Structures are given as C-alpha cells and as structure tokens.
A = this chain, B = another copy of it.
Amino acid sequence: MTNKAKLLQGDEAVVEGAIAAGARFFAGYPITPASEIAEGLAEKLPVHGGKFIQMEDELASMACIIGASLSGLKSITATSGPGFSLKQENLGLGMMIEAPCVVVNVQRVGPSTGLPTSPSQGDVMQAKWGTHGDHPVIALAPSSVKETFELTVKAFNFAERFRMPVILLLDEIVGHMREKVVLPKQEDIEIWDRKKPEVGPEDFNPYEETEDHIPPMPAYGEGYRYHTTGLFHDKTGFPRGTTEDAKKLMDRLMAKIEDNMDIISLYETDIRAEDEVVVLAYGSTMRSVINAVNRARDEGINVGWIKLKTIWPFPEEIVKKISQDVNTIIVPELNRGQLIKEVKEHVFGNAEVRGINKYDGTLIKPDEILDLIREVK
C-alpha cells in the first residue's frame, strides 16, 4: 500500500522530507523564496517534539543548527542567495568540525538582491567555493517535487553518514512549483544516523582516524567532554599548529568524499548506444531537457540525456565516460555557465561542449534546447 498522491510545493516537500528523515531542529531567517520551508517546519516540528527557532540573522541561523547538531539533533536551515552568502563563514566551520546538518538554498537570480522572486541556478559554484579555503562539499539538486522529497532525505542521510553539512540546491521553480507527489511510507524510507562512539570517554578521540575516515560522534552531555575547534586539529580535537596535522585533517575530510563517490554520485541517464549528442543538466532545467530530447528522438536524432542529482562532488567519472562515447555534450543552465566549466575540465577535449544559458529569471524553453540539438547533431 502506498500513500495517497498530494499536491505539494517543492518547499513543502523539503518540510516533509526533513521530518521523514528525522530532522528535529530548524533555525532560519525570513527570505524569499525559502520562507515556506521555515513556515512549514515552524508548524510541524513541535508536533514531533522538535524545535523551531527564528534567529536574528542568517549567520546566527547557521551557527544555531551546528550547535543543535552537536547536541545530537538532526538539524536544517533554509535560505536563498543573499542568506547563503552570509552563511558561508559558519558553513566552513561546520565542514571543519564535521557537524552533520542540511543547508537548503532555494536559488533566485543574483548577484545581490537581484530578482528575488525568479528562478536561477546561479549559486552552483558558490555552493562549492563560497567559504574560504579548500573544503569538502556535497550538494544535491532536485528537478521535481518528488525528487525534492527524496533528496532532502538523502541530504540528511549523507550529512549523518559522512558527518558533514550537506547543501540542497533548489531553484525557485522547484521550490514554489506545486506538483503531484506520492510520498513513500515512513517504513520504506532508508534513514541513516550518525555513528556513535563504541568506546568510553577515557578512550575517546573525537577526530579519530578510522578506516572509513568518519569519526564517531557523541552528543554533548553524554559524558565524552570533548573539544572541537575551527582551527586545524589532530585526532584529539586540539590544534597543535603543525603542518602535518593540517594536511592530515584536510586529506581525511576530502577522503570522506573521494572514497565514497559511488555512493554520493547520484545521476540518471538515458543514453543509447547510438546517441552522439548528450544533454547534461540538473534542477528544473532538466524538465526542458527531457521534453527536448524526446522530441528530437521523434525526429530521429541520436541524442540522450544525463540528469545530475549530485552536483558536488561533480560526478566526473560518468562525464569522462560519456565524453568518450559521444561527439557533443550540451549543458543548459540557468546561469552564465557554471557547471559547464566542470564538464569542460573533465571532458578535456574528448567531445565538444556547448552551453545554453539563461540568467534573466526565465526558464530555458524546450525549443531552445531542441534547436541546439538539431544544430550539433
């Protein structure tokens, strides 16, 4: 038996996904077009014994969910471009101290105040590079309300499993669109919780180098009395200021991602042996892609598509592989060409790479993609 179909906004699907994944803490600040997530969780969290708090600003919201995560709750915040910029410093701390949490960015057109009510995919590169210094990033981007629910759950699972903040990149269309969605039964949803220490406080190192590179994490108040800091630190959690510790920690943080690319890289493909053109996209843009590819195939054109659900880490293996099988990769994006840079880097001359870019708050229409498919075919 399945649940009944619902008409839900993407923002509402984040609320449902968060509750289903076990989120019990939200801190946020009003911003278009993400406020509906706060409003939904303000209503639903206390029903589940969880907590909602509206903070004084975006920076405080990010700090607050990291704090709640350290106290043991699955935590989430939601914002849009300007708030995402403001959250960057504390997001970096979250990555450094390995605090599981989920940060939603419902993208609107930037820079600055921009076009606050119009969709964009303009924060894709910021999601990877927005905070200073090297750092590991997982960012997921849904293309439908249903995927929004699924990837919200995934985001919490990745956050807990790999012990790090995970970014969920909606765009305004996916966030505000209402669409039919059938939510899975709670018992059918796979849930990951953070690893807890198996040793007592006396034998505990909060940043122990384990085989999977993921240190177990007790909650505050459980008697482990450990230290955590935004400085580079060794396994005890303390800074020694040595170069070796800095490299060791950075390599471990990155290894959590690099060693688990097969788990983290989420994508779907529809590429046939005969396809010579592939359209690569993510988020709401993907919907135009499927429309265009289907119509192009009706015209007899050998074209397929790849939908990235994981944006960061960039699923480079599949792109490298595809680049050897096709002549052209088309990358439509609601920005001036961001993820296409990764595509070019990894294609590295093995196929032609062409972009389609809209950055005026309107969607890329299926016809615009179809036109380019016809041109390059």
Annotate A75-99 by CB proximity to B: 1 below 8 A, 0 otherwise. 0000001101110110011011100
Annotate A319-356 by CB proximity to B: 1 below 8 A, 0 otherwise. 00000000000000001101001101101111000000
Instruction: Report yes or no: A110 in contact with B134, Cβ–Cβ below 8 A.
Output: yes
List the number of copies, as a whole number. Answer: 2
Knowing A89-B82, A246-B361 are in contact, say whether A110-B126 is a contact too (CB < 8 A): no
* Separation of A254 and B113 alpha carbons in the complex (Å): 18
At the interface, is chain A mostly helix, strand, loop or mixed? mixed
Instruction: Report yes or no: A254 in contact with B114, Cβ–Cβ below 8 A.
Output: no
Quick check: is A269 within 8 A (CB to CB) of the other chain?
Answer: no
Additional 10 contacts, C-beta under 8 A, given A85-B132, A109-B133, A129-B129: A82-B132, A88-B130, A89-B112, A123-B132, A126-B129, A126-B130, A126-B131, A129-B130, A133-B335, A344-B348
Quick check: is A238 within 8 A (CB to CB) of the other chain?
Answer: no
Provide 28 A-B residue pairs closer than 8 Å at the C-beta atoms, listed in order of the A residue: A81-B133, A85-B130, A85-B131, A88-B88, A92-B110, A93-B113, A97-B112, A110-B132, A110-B135, A111-B230, A112-B230, A113-B229, A114-B246, A115-B231, A115-B241, A116-B231, A122-B132, A126-B133, A129-B130, A130-B132, A134-B336, A243-B361, A246-B360, A250-B336, A250-B359, A344-B345, A347-B348, A349-B350
Instruction: Report yes or no: B84 in contact with A112, Cβ–Cβ below 8 A.
Output: no
From 51 to 72 in chain A, residues with beta carbon under 8 angstroms from any chain B beta carbon are 59
Quick check: is A375 within 8 A (CB to CB) of the other chain?
Answer: no
**A122: which B residues are within 8 A, CB to CB?**
132-134
User: What's the minimum C-beta distance from A62 to chain B, rounded to whole angstroms?
Assistant: 11
Knowing A86-B89, A360-B244 are in contact, say whether A111-B96 is a contact too (CB < 8 A): yes
Knowing A113-B229, A349-B348 are in contact, say whether A247-B359 is a contact too (CB < 8 A): yes
* Separation of A88 and B111 alpha carbons in the complex (Å): 10
Quick check: is A177 within 8 A (CB to CB) of the other chain?
Answer: no
Instruction: Report yes or no: B130 in contact with A111, Cβ–Cβ below 8 A.
Output: no
Cβ-closest chain B residue relative to A116: B231
Quick check: is A128 within 8 A (CB to CB) of the other chain?
Answer: yes
**A93: which B residues are within 8 A, CB to CB?**
111-113
Which residue of B130, B134, B336 is within 8 Å of A254 (Cβ)?
B336
